[in-house]
Amino acid sequence: MNIITKSMKQDKAQIGTLESRVHLHDVLVVGGGLTGLRAAMQAADAGLDVVVISKVNPLRSHSVAAQGGMNASLGNVKGEDGAEDNWEMHAYDTVKGSDYLADQDAVELMCREAPRSVIELEHLGTVWSRLENGKIAQRPFGGAGFPRTCYAADRTGHNALHTLFEQVVARKIPVYEEFFVTSLVTKNGRCWGLTAIDIKTGNIHGFSSKATLMATGGFGRIFSRSTNAIINTADGQALAMDAGVPLKDMEFVQFHPTTLYGTNILMSEGARGEGGILVNKNGERFMKRYAPNSLDLAPRDVVARSIEQEILEGRAYDQGYVHLDLTHLGSDRIKERLPGIRQIAMDFAGVDPVEKPVPIQPGQHYSMGGIDVDKNGSTMLKGLFAAGECSCISVHGANRLGGNSLLETVVFGRLTADRIIEEIQNVEQPEMEPVMAAVQSMETKTENILQRNGGEKFFSIKTDLTQTMQNKFGIFRDNDTMEDGLSEIEELKVRFSNSCFMNKEPSYNQALIQFLELEAMLKIAEVVAVGAIQRRESRGSHKRNDYPDRDDEKFLKHTIVSLKDGKPVINYKPVKLGRFEPKERLY
């Protein structure tokens, strides 16, 4: 790698020629989380020149925060009736949980590959929790017919991410760390690379490649209450959309039922999988009212709506929370199975769950929608691929089951890399000129941004955006409220066009990076809004008070959003059905 470290304020000779800041590789992987690292490993093992580009150190990717576990039908723990789990049951639970919006061919592929993926991680070094017989432990999770969630205490993502990063380091795969991707480079209907800011210096670099994989994660930070890391700002989705690639099902936003009140740090579903219960201010286990069979282990959309209903009807504590009670589990079990949850509760709420219940409220957690791809991770733009949370394959449909997101990262990180390996065999070396031209264009854009003065500071716009999304596109939705929200987003876009910030230094200019992040957030917020308004039904996480029923006749289809003249335009395409016919979803 030839990374220039001089300031942009110095002359061109000092910062290096344009040619020296354009890098040529076979495959670019954008994102250093589980998806990106697993894909990079696969490409490297095939002999390709692959690099990872990440705006943070990979070990600070949001994958590290995943707590609860990874689903796989290993059958290590039998069901209540003594039955043994299998991939078909995993697929059924996933499709039912998705409210029948998932593409069943992709679901089948993921569930078939699940056991192999868990065992592969073990062989690579992931330390799974164990049963007394030595087999990988599996706990119950919401919406699942069997205890199939494999886990590493309540730090599963942490374990898996460190495992894959070690493998990337062992393979000597280059990582362009603290590089923020600013555009995808296209010519003649193909993606030939990208541009990125070296955050350390402020210099614009170009990357030319035969294939680019987007693995940038979700867009949770467009909401004010979110479990997501602050880096989850919709960068990948916005980059793809600007390059002409449609987004799919963006209105389906998951709200996790149990986030810590006040900070919205995730309180893993594993806490309920271990036997934790939800109680309101009257001491009532209220889930019996909403899901009499599954209770606290109903799917996330059901539990989140139930908690919100308790809050709206005055059965929650005054500040707007209910309790997650683990005290009956006992000290030993909590310390062994939920050590991270206990530490978070003590550090951020001053509550030891061994002794007292934990205050929780729903918060945005996951993006079911994303870049429109097929089950191989291919987009409509040749040379551009996507996998993980930034994509929509779709294996989650209208509502993701807990334990399926970590699974998706490693399954489709590997499978998408396999498709890339196959597709680029006959691709010629990319042209450098389009990337060089894109670098010059991006230099002009960033210089113009840095020269702005006298406008509104953009940080207030970001705050207003997240509040609009939380209040107008939250757990319960209706047309009038969402139309008001869309108008507010449009006003925020106008304000943003006249905004500025004070820091004019190129090196480590976090204000510039956050400004560009907000540009993406505003685009994606508008896409979420128009998709939600046009879907006139209730399905999974998308619950409308004015259209309370699911409408399979009109909306058993994916929402597809593209840009036309800078504005989002909606089309639809059918869901891929299969062995599981849509029926009423009862828990």
Answer yes or no: do 359 and 394 share one domain: no
Answer yes or no: do 187 and 317 share one domain: no
Q: How far apart are CA 447 and CA 442, in angstroms?
A: 8
Answer yes or no: do 268 and 237 share one domain: no
Residue 50: which residues within 8 A CB-CB, separation 6 or more?
A: 25, 26, 27, 28, 29, 40, 43, 44, 173
276 lies in a domain?
yes
Q: Using one digit for the tens of pLDDT, what is the confidence trace for 409-432? A: 999 999 999 999 999 998 988 888
Of 394, 410, 433, the domain-final residue: 433
Q: How far apart are CA 317 and CA 2, in angstroms?
A: 57
Phi, psi angle pair for 458, to nearest 5°: -70, -15
Q: How far apart are CA 373 and CA 412, in angstroms?
A: 11
| Catalytic residue status for 300 | yes
Q: What is the mean pLDDT of residues 292-317?
A: 95
The answer to whether residue 327 scores a pLDDT higher than 90 is yes
Of 405, 433, 461, the domain-final residue: 433
By residue range, what is the domain housing residue 295? Answer: 258-363
Answer yes or no: do 262 and 359 share one domain: yes
Answer yes or no: do 339 and 402 share one domain: no
pLDDT at 16: 62
Residue 212: what residue type?
T
Domain count, the chain: 3
Question: pLDDT-derived band of residue 114, with 50, 70 and 90 as boundaries?
Answer: very high
**In the structure encoding, which two tokens stand for residue 497, read together?**
């066009």
Question: pLDDT-derived band of residue 6, with 50, 70 and 90 as boundaries?
Answer: very low
pLDDT at 11: 40
Q: Please tell me whether the peptide bond between 20 and the residue prior to it is cis, using omega within 30 degrees of 0.
A: no
Collapsed DSSP state (helix, strand, coil) of residue 527:
helix
Alpha helices in 202-338 (DSSP H): 235-242, 270-273, 287-290, 300-312, 331-337
DSSP secondary structure string for all residues of 327-376: GGG-HHHHHHH-HHHHHHHHHHHS--TTTSPEEEEEEEEEES-EEE--TT
Q: What is the mean pLDDT of residues 87-111?
A: 98
Q: Using one digit for the tens of pLDDT, what is the confidence trace for 435-464? A: 999 999 999 999 999 999 888 999 999 999
The answer to whether residue 278 scores a pLDDT higher than 60 is yes
Answer yes or no: do 170 and 60 share one domain: yes
Answer yes or no: do 349 and 403 share one domain: no
The answer to whether residue 543 scores a pLDDT higher than 90 is yes
331 lies in a domain?
yes
CATH of the domain at 542: 1.20.58.100
Question: pLDDT-derived band of residue 18, with 50, 70 and 90 as boundaries?
Answer: confident
Q: Which of 180, 90, 171, 95 lies closest to 138 in space, CA to CA?
A: 90
Q: Using one digit for the tens of pLDDT, what is the confidence trace for 370-418? A: 999 999 999 999 999 999 999 999 999 999 999 999 999 999 999 999 9
pLDDT at 15: 54
Give CA separation, 242 vs 191, 558, 564, 565, in Å: 12, 20, 10, 11
72 lies in a domain?
no
Of 330, 363, 396, the domain-final residue: 363
Strands laid side by side in the 179-187 sheet: 22-24, 204-208, 190-198, 179-187
The answer to whether residue 12 scores a pLDDT higher than 60 is no
pLDDT at 547: 98
551 lies in a domain?
no
Q: Using one digit for the tens of pLDDT, what is the confidence trace for 488-514? A: 999 999 999 999 999 999 899 999 999
559 lies in a domain?
no
The answer to whether residue 285 scores a pLDDT higher than 60 is yes
The residue that leads in pLDDT, 82 or 128, is: 128
Answer yes or no: do 204 and 284 share one domain: no
Q: How far apart are CA 20 and CA 26, in angstroms?
A: 17
Q: How far apart are CA 355 and CA 247, in angstroms?
A: 46
**This prediction's pTM:** 0.94
The answer to whether residue 7 scores a pLDDT higher than 80 is no
Q: What is the mean pLDDT of residues 169-196?
A: 97
The residue that leads in pLDDT, 50 or 143, is: 50
Answer yes or no: do 247 and 263 share one domain: no
The answer to whether residue 3 scores a pLDDT higher than 50 is no
Residue in this structure with the two tokens 């394959």, named with its chain if needed: 393
Percent residues over pLDDT 90 in the chain: 92
562 lies in a domain?
no
Residue 45: which residues within 8 A CB-CB, separation 6 or more?
A: 171
Is-contact 313 367, C-beta < 8 A?
no
User: Computed from CA positions of residues 392, 393, 399, 400, in that sequence, does the dihedral angle turn out positive or negative?
Assistant: negative
CATH of the domain at 400: 3.50.50.60
The answer to whether residue 111 scores a pLDDT higher than 90 is yes
Pairing of strands 27-30, 211-214: parallel
pLDDT at 574: 97
Answer yes or no: do 299 and 371 share one domain: no
The answer to whether residue 10 scores a pLDDT higher than 60 is no
Answer yes or no: do 173 and 239 share one domain: yes
CATH of the domain at 345: 3.90.700.10
325 lies in a domain?
yes
Answer yes or no: do 61 and 164 share one domain: yes
179 lies in a domain?
yes
Q: What is the mean pLDDT of residues 235-249?
A: 98
Collapsed DSSP state (helix, strand, coil) of residue 514:
helix
The answer to whether residue 26 scores a pLDDT higher than 70 is yes
Q: CA angle, 526 as apex, 522 and 531 as ends, to 5°?
A: 150
Q: How far apart are CA 372 and CA 246, in angstroms?
A: 6
Longest dimension (CA), the chain: 74
> Across all residues in the chain, what is the average pLDDT?
94
| Catalytic residue (one of 148, 155, 300, 414) | 300
